[in-house]
Structure 1
Amino acid sequence: MPINTTIAWMTARGLFGRRRFLLLLPLPLMLIALAVFARVTGINTGDWAQPVVNGLGFAVLLPVIALIVGTGVLGSEIDDGTIVHILTKPLSRAEIVWAKFLVASGVTALTAAIPLYVVGVLIESVRFGLGLAAAAAIGAVVYSAIFLLLSLLSRRPVLVGLLYVLIWEGLLGNLVSGTRVLSVEQYTLSYADRIAPSEFLDANVSLPVAISMSIIITVLCLIYAVFRLRSFTAASETS
């Protein structure tokens, strides 16, 4: 489906023009700063690489950035009422969702992939950095679909999203093995480990499962987001 450049531009301008965008900066800077500090001070790579990449990069930075951006591309317009103006235009709901999804995915991918690439280079090699960056970009696509849908389902998408990241992805994903098949964090680790195998990656989901589940989750979330937006009227409120 071709992207509606007008909707995409409006979305990007609204996203970068809000204070919310400033929330995207601390985590990437913190990730790079930790890696640089550890490298400069000569700390053994094995002592900090996995906690920084897995514990902070893929478990915190990527989903939180995706949450901020993914809930912002539609959620902010719902909150201030400007969504009504967009819905009155002769545009298909699928066209609106697709444009906003692409913007959310692109911004999240860049914001998360760049610091992870830098960290990967500092830890091991350029290939490892590229593996982390590529995995983050793929994860950004899946997370963006989830959180975009969430902004249409809840009046407090950021709060619900944080609970999802902390409880499902963080707590249950690490303690209950059966939940890992539904963990986007585990998918990203599988992608990174396949592109640039490393002892510092702890992937618990096979690559075929990661690929198939990523596609299924993304497609289902986007389809439901279109359905939800179609039922959205000027007087409606998200539940």
Structure 2
Amino acid sequence: MSTVAWITARGLFGRRRVLLLLPLPALLVGLALLCRAYDVNPAEWGPPVLVGLGLAVVLPVVTLIVGTGVLGSEVDDGTIVHILTKPLPRRDIVLAKLGVAIGVSAVTAAVPLFVAGALADSARLGLALAAAAAVGACAYSAFFLMLSLLTRRPVLLGLVYILVWEGLLGNFVSGTRVLSIQQYVITIADRIEPTVLLDSKVSGTLSVVMAAIFIVGCTVAAVDRLRSFSMAGETS
């Protein structure tokens, strides 16, 4: 399992795709520093930067890039066959790759969110945002990893989920928020450190429970799908 994780991490950081992780976090920190330098009221720039950019764009997009890359690229180029021939339970393969995706995504998103939150209000808000981002990274990673096994266009479907379901419908149709990871993250951060800069629209209990369901449910579905890949390979 550790070997699979190491190979996955090495492959991920060896691709040009990893360069796509840098601009958005840098933009988030840069905007926060700029607003702080010009002494702009945090009530004016906090919500659009922390939520509109940080939680609604940086976190899900970074996780989409990583989550669909740790296994999806191997499915696309056919090297998934080499992994499936190893004497490893499919569960261990998925968990190893999911662990890498969560670790990379959480660090890449949580660090700039901590910095931006500290600049907007306090270190406590920064820590709350970082902790919530870590939970979001778990849920998003499991979801996008599952998509990479279910479809050949996981990035496209992931963007549809982020932009249409969470971005468009989530702001205007209240019922869709129940299945919005973004809303869970906002609520968790707001419960850890209540602030006017965050506008939570779902309950704390619902956020924790649904985040757990996303993580467990998508992971189980990914393991089951990978088992079907194995069966197909054995019969072909």
- The TM-score bracket by the shorter chain reads over 0.9
Which of residues 72, 81, 84 in structure 1 aligns to 2:81? Answer: 84
Q: Deviations over 1:101-132 (max 9, x none)?
A: 11101100000000000001100111010000
Report what 2:145 is aligned to. Answer: 148
Q: Does residue 116 of structure 2 align to residue 137 of structure 1? A: no
- List per-residue Cα deviations over 1:80-104 (Å, max 9, x = no partner): 2211101001111001000011110
Q: How does 1:162-201 map onto structure 2 within 5 Å? A: 162-201=159-198
Unaligned runs of 5+ in 2: none
2:58 to 55, 58, 61: 61
- How high is the sequence identity, in percent, across the aligned residues? 63
> In structure 2, which of residues 22, 26, 39 is the aligned counterpart of residue 25 of structure 1?
22
Unaligned runs of 5+ in 1: none
1:47-73 deviation digits (Å, cap 9, x = unpaired): 110000110111110000010000000
Match of 2:99 among 79, 102, 109: 102
Instruction: Indicate whether 1:215 and 2:212 are aligned.
Output: yes
Aligned-residue CA RMSD (Å): 1.1
Instruction: Determine if contact 1:84/1:234 at 8 Å carries over to the other structure.
Output: no
Could you state the TM-score of these two structures normalised by the residue count of structure 2?
Answer: 0.97
Q: Distance in 1 between matches of 2:73 and 2:134?
A: 24
Aligned residues: 233
After superposing on structure 2, the runs of 4+ consecutive aligned residues of structure 1 that deviate more than 3 Å are: 233-236
CA deviation after TM superposition for structure 1 residue 235, in Å? 6.5
Secondary structure of the structure 2 residue equivalent to 1:36 = helix
